[in-house]
Amino acid sequence: AQSVTQLGSHVSVSEGALVLLRCNYSSSVPPYLFWYVQYPNQGLQLLLKYTTGATLVKGINGFEAEFKKSETSFHLTKPSAHMSDAAEYFCAVSDLAGGGNKLTFGTGTQLKVEL
Amino acid sequence: KAGVTQTPRYLIKTRGQQVTLSCSPISGHRSVSWYQQTPGQGLQFLFEYFSETQRNKGNFPGRFSGRQFSNSRSEMNVSTLELGDSALYLCASSLPGQFYNEQFFGPGTRLTVL
């Protein structure tokens, strides 16, 4: 079974500082990996995804993530945090072995951005 | 293009009752997945429907069921509600295909069981 571990349930950064949210995965097959963001009282919005090809993936709102197979990691970064980035972030892996669209999510990281 | 819509947005029920939640996917999307989100268990996959057939199922009791109609709209039903069923229920739709396609999430239905 596939799984995802997000280190740090709460991360606090200053506005303008680097954002680094950590995600490690476990998968017996090449994974499809995703980062989603959730704002209060809203659904999930896809930030970026890794399927195949280039290991550095760029997403929306200035976020990017790098797939590192040797470290089984897919950490999310943004060079400069903005107040509007405050939200909960979820890393997820797709289970293709069973066919279809099942996503397994990490427990989430709440990002706080301070002035 | 309209996004995924879920109705109702908020629902309050009492233990033992049953509830039906509705999800209308993005036009052209034929796959609909359901997820339960709780503070304790996080986001958990319930089931996926594709072309009116359940294609994947998560590890939930039989009280949780779903269906999909010919227009791809989906409903999920929870019978004999328990306090622990209080959660945000998210629906996601995606294009048809054998392999993974990006899922677009709706705003969710917040169910409170008293």
Q: Is B85 helix (H, G, I), strand (E, B) or coil?
A: helix
Length of chain A: 115
Nearest CA in chain A to B51: A100
Kindly report, residue by residue over A58-87, the tens digit of the pLDDT: 999 999 999 999 999 999 999 999 999 999
Q: Is the pLDDT of residue B108 over 90?
A: yes
Q: Is the pLDDT of residue B97 over 80?
A: no
Q: How far apart are alpha carbons A14 and A78 in whole angstroms?
A: 12
Residue A75: predicted pLDDT: 98
Quickly tell me which residue has 């993936």 as its tokens.
A57
Say if B51 is an interface residue toward chain A (CB within 8 Å): no
Kindly report, residue by residue over A12-65, the tens digit of the pLDDT: 999 999 999 999 999 877 788 999 999 988 899 999 999 888 889 999 999 999
Say if B94 is an interface residue toward chain A (CB within 8 Å): yes
Nearest CA in chain A to B58: A102
